[in-house]
């Protein structure tokens, strides 16, 4: 399979509170030499992140979409602000952009990767041509562009109508994976593959395009599955696939809906509002919970590999 994934450049301006969060988030990774008017620059293996004094942030590299999506999600959660990110690597043919919107497809997407509290939720759906008009009438599109209230309203209708498979990876399971050699992308690849296999077998699907919302290049994705006995290999990987494929949009919405329900359960269990994302508010709630229930509670309800864990434990009562 030919890898057509190209490096991208994504630029947008962040709000003041997100700017401060970014400075803290990247503090231990910033480069000594930085461009003029930059606050910091961080060079990871797949993305270069540069924050400027003006508040403009630039993500460059094959991981630009993934890195940028974390911060656009923080803008949505903390500031109710929706940011449209467009790569400077424009598509050569505009007609390719909406290529899957009117076709029967199987698609998968995940939610929870940027949230300290709560599980990782992966869903795969099958949307046939016959159900596309139903999806359009509901106003289905990228779940990142829908408010949580809208998702809660339309998701039950999608669940009743559209075949789907969901895997909820609990925090205990997630933390167990991360205590071994598995990183976030490998965990996601394994879960996407399981969901896709399940829906394809359950619905006896053949000769249908399979689309995954791309979180890394195809070669790396398949390398993660090298020891997996059964795997789906005829996948089309697309960035921003929720905008271009109805089954991925449905998967995104169902995953988000289920994730929000899990967060609500946690809030009711501990009688405190469990915040989304990985902000300072998350740290404050984490400190409150650890002071009351002890550090072990984080193993059960949080993703321990996030930097929030150290910040929380540093601020608990001794």
Domain finish residue from 53, 79, 105: 79
CATH of the domain at 34: 3.30.310.10
- Say what the pLDDT of residue 93 is: 41
Domain finish residue from 51, 79, 107: 79
Domain finish residue from 263, 295, 312: 263
Whole domain around residue 155: which residue ranges?
95-263
- Say what the pLDDT of residue 6 is: 53
Looking at the DSSP assignment, which residues form a beta bridge with residue 48? 43, 60
Find the helix or strand (DSSP H, E) in which 42 lies. strand 38-43
What is the Cα Rg of the chain in Å? 20
**pLDDT by residue (tens digit) across 132-152?**
999 988 988 655 678 899 999
Distance between CA atoms of residues 3 and 21, nearest Å: 34
- The order of strands in the sheet holding 164-169 is 164-169, 120-127, 105-111, 209-213, 235-238
**pLDDT by residue (tens digit) across 29-78?**
888 889 989 999 999 877 899 999 999 999 998 878 878 888 988 888 88
pTM above 0.85, yes or no: no
- Say what the pLDDT of residue 80 is: 84
Same domain, 235 and 125: yes
- Say what the pLDDT of residue 90 is: 44
Distance between CA atoms of residues 117 and 277, nearest Å: 8
Low-confidence stretches of the chain (pLDDT < 70) are 1-7, 85-99, 141-144, 179-182, 318
């Amino acid at each position: 399979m030919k890898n057509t994934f190209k490096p991208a450049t994504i630029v947008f301006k962040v709000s003041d509170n997100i700017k401060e969060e970014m400075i803290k988030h990247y503090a231990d990774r910033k480069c000594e030499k930085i461009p003029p008017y930059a606050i910091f620059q961080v060079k990871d293996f797949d993305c270069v992140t540069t924050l400027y004094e003006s508040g403009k942030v630039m993500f460059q590299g094959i991981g630009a979409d993934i890195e940028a999506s974390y911060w656009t999600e923080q803008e949505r959660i903390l500031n109710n602000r929706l940011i449209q990110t467009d790569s400077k690597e424009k598509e050569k043919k505009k007609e390719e952009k909406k290529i899957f919107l009117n076709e029967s497809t199987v698609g998968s997407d995940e939610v929870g990767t940027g949230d300290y509290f709560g599980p990782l939720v992966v869903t795969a759906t099958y949307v046939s041509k016959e159900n596309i008009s139903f999806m359009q009438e509901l106003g289905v599109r990228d779940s990142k562009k829908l408010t949580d209230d809208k998702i809660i309203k339309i998701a039950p209708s999608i669940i009743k109508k559209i075949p789907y498979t969901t895997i909820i990876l609990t925090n205990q399971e997630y933390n167990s994976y991360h205590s071994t050699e598995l990183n976030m992308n490998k965990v996601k690849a394994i879960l996407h593959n399981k969901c896709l296999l399940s829906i394809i077998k359950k619905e006896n699907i053949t000769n249908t395009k399979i689309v995954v919302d791309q979180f890394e290049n195809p070669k790396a994705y398949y390398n993660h599955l090298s020891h997996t006995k059964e795997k789906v290999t005829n996948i089309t990987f697309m960035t921003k696939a929720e905008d271009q494929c109805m089954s991925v949009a449905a998967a995104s919405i169902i995953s988000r809906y289920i994730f929000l329900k899990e967060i609500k359960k946690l809030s009711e269990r501990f009688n405190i509002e469990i915040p989304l994302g990985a902000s300072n508010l998350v740290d404050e709630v984490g400190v409150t919970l650890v002071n009351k229930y002890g550090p072990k509670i984080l193993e059960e309800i949080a993703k321990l590999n996030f930097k929030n864990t150290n910040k929380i434990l540093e601020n608990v009562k001794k």
